[in-house]
Amino acid sequence: MQKLRVKAALEASASQSGVIIQGWVRTRRDSKDFSFMEINDGSCLKGIQVVVDAGTPGYDQISEFATGAAAEIEGDLVESPGKGQKWEVKATTIKLIGAAPEEYPLQKKRHSDEFLRSIAHLRGRTNKFGAMFRIRSETAKAVHDFFHENGFFNMHSPILTGSDCEGAGEMFRVTTLDLHNPIPKDFDTEDFFGKEANLTVSGQLSAETYALSHGRVYTFGPTFRAENSNTARHAAEFWMIEPEAAFFDLEDNMQLGEDLLKYIIKRVREQCADDLELFTKWVDKTLEATLDNIQNNPFERVSYTEAIEILQKAQKKFEFPVEWGIDLQTEHERFLTETAFKKPVIVYDYPKDIKAFYMRLNDDEKTVAAMDVLVPRIGEIIGGSQREERLDVLERRIDELGLNKDDYWWYLDLRRFGSAPHSGFGMGFERLLMLITGITNIRDVIPYPRTPKSLDF
Ligand code: 4AD
Ligand code: MG
């Protein structure tokens, strides 16, 4: 007897006797002398058809092989005489492993995304979330493969930090103090680390240190932001892919972002064709065309100043008025990629006042060598920059922004000893999955979403 995953069974090249299939019953149809069951084990979208003759050991319990029940089937993998599948299992023994009574919430019908979020612990068993989860896994693998093929080392950057990477102050404080009791006066020094600690918003600063020892590194880990924006594109906990490369300028950085995105989309389309078809059919009919468009065209590159001119000339009334110096809003980003250029757009050289302290100051002293990659439907998917490698300029920027230089002593050391031009970016992993699947709510591309006032499961 050999255990077979359903995927392997469906892709078999020859019939095989003595196999074991283990999974969950999706459907069952009974006739007088036999029953058909569809068993899904999560390994792929499709289930395998099982034929059970009356009289097969275990058949006396057949009525309990209900939708959602866990089952083990012993039998032979044989060519299916029926339409719609090449292989089926002719059962020799069936075993009920875990019954699923009628209250099982996933009876065969379509459920709303909202309802499925309320049973996030079970939604992985639906076709849609089953497919999303497999795509998420394959996408993560593609990320690692891309970087390894391009000479980048994987770095595990810290999740607990004592510094604020983005200087934005939207962090989750981590403490062991008992907040139900009076908080001591010098609570920072009394606390676990003897100083204020937070969950990281980005692994960038520590990635920079290893870029300046190993040349090319990337981190791919969880990041946390306490921004109270309850949008379909923001999560409080999300995963970020952050490459950092020494001797990369802004141009190299833009190319890396474009290459990475194209590589991942190509790979996932090759490896997850069945799963993606489901999204094209049920979620976004234009998905294939959108992905083709991204794969087949060079991304447009425009400076921030050019982008502002395009938006000002647009025959469209924006909710947020456009003028030089504003931070681009999603409506502006989507106009650039969906209407103005009809493909991904890289906007570069943003005003220094709307960007972080570490971005390299351009010669005009007004803009920094930042770049954001914008894609249809999502807007910003990548944010990055060339980093300021000049000690004096970096110190000046830290002062201008009212940050404390002492907190960044080690970061400044990199500019004191063997400083070199370097660049990097962050790509939001969930936004990438929204792009790939057409799913419009970030809550539906992560198993257990964390958003304001929502921390279930
Ligand atoms: O543009 P951001 O804030 O860039 C940084 O954090 C840099 N330190 C990255 C770097 O250069 N190494 O974030 C990068 C990306 C965004 O483009 C977006 O895709 C995603 O992270 N992102 C979010 N995704 C989901 N929920 C949120 N709240 C997000 N905030 C940012
Ligand atoms: Mg950004």
What's the pLDDT score for residue 360? 98
Residue ID of nearest Cα to ligand 1 atom 6: 202
Residues forming beta bridges with residue 426, ordered by sequence position: 383
CA-wise closest residue to 382 among 289, 438, 280, 299: 299
238 lines ligand 1 (CB under 6 A): yes
Question: Does 168 score more than 70 pLDDT?
Answer: no
> pLDDT tens digit string along 103-122?
999 987 889 999 999 999 99
Q: Provide the pLDDT confidence category of residue 164 given band limits of 50, 70 and 90.
A: low
- Please provide the DSSP assignment of 346-391 as one string: EEEEEEGGGS-TTBPBPTTSSEEEEEEEEETTTEEEEEEEEB---H
How many Å apart are CA 47 and CA 278, to the nearest integer? 14
CA atoms within 13 A on the CB side of 75: 27
The predicted structure's pLDDT at residue 400 = 93
User: Which ligand 1 atom sits nearest the alpha carbon of residue 432?
Assistant: 19
Residues ≥6 apart with Cβ < 8 Å to 174: 160, 192, 197, 198, 199
Angle at 448 between CA 146 and CA 121, to 5 degrees: 120
Per-residue pLDDT, 162: 85
At 245 the three-state DSSP class reads strand
Single-letter residue type at 119 = I
Percent of the chain with pLDDT over 90: 90
Find the 381 Cα to ligand 2 centroid distance in Å: 8
Which residues have C-beta within 8 Å of that of residue 160, sequence separation ≥ 6? 174, 193, 197, 198, 199, 200
- In the predicted structure, residue 62 carries a pLDDT above the cut 80: yes
Q: Please work out whether the CB of residue 235 comes within 6 Å of at least one atom of ligand 1.
A: yes
The CATH code for residues 2-98 is 2.40.50.140
Closest to 442 (Cα-Cα) out of 200, 167, 136: 136
Question: Is the Cβ atom of 384 under 6 angstroms away from ligand 1?
Answer: yes
Q: What is the mean pLDDT of residues 264-280?
A: 98
Please tell me if the CB atom of residue 157 comes closer than 6 angstroms to any atom of ligand 1: no
**Ligand 1 proximity of 349 Cβ (cutoff 6 Å):** no
Per-residue pLDDT, averaged over 249-254, amounts to 98
Q: Domain locations in the chain?
A: 2-98, 123-444
257 within 8 A of 425, measured Cβ to Cβ:
yes
Q: What pLDDT sits at residue 453?
A: 93
User: In this predicted structure, what is the pLDDT of residue 228?
Assistant: 78
Whether 167 shows a pLDDT value over 70: the answer reads no
- CA terminus-to-terminus distance, the chain: 38
The one-letter amino acid code at 376 reads P
CA 158/CA 194 separation, integer angstroms:
17
CA of 327 to the centre of ligand 1 (A): 15
Let me know if domain 123-444 sits in CATH 3.30.930.10.
Answer: yes
Model pLDDT for residues 18-46, shown as the tens digit of each residue:
999 999 999 999 999 999 999 999 999 99
Task: Supply the pLDDT for residue 78.
Answer: 97
pTM over 0.75: yes
How far is Cα 28 from Cα 63, in angstroms, rounded to an integer? 9
Statement: residue 8 has pLDDT above 80: yes
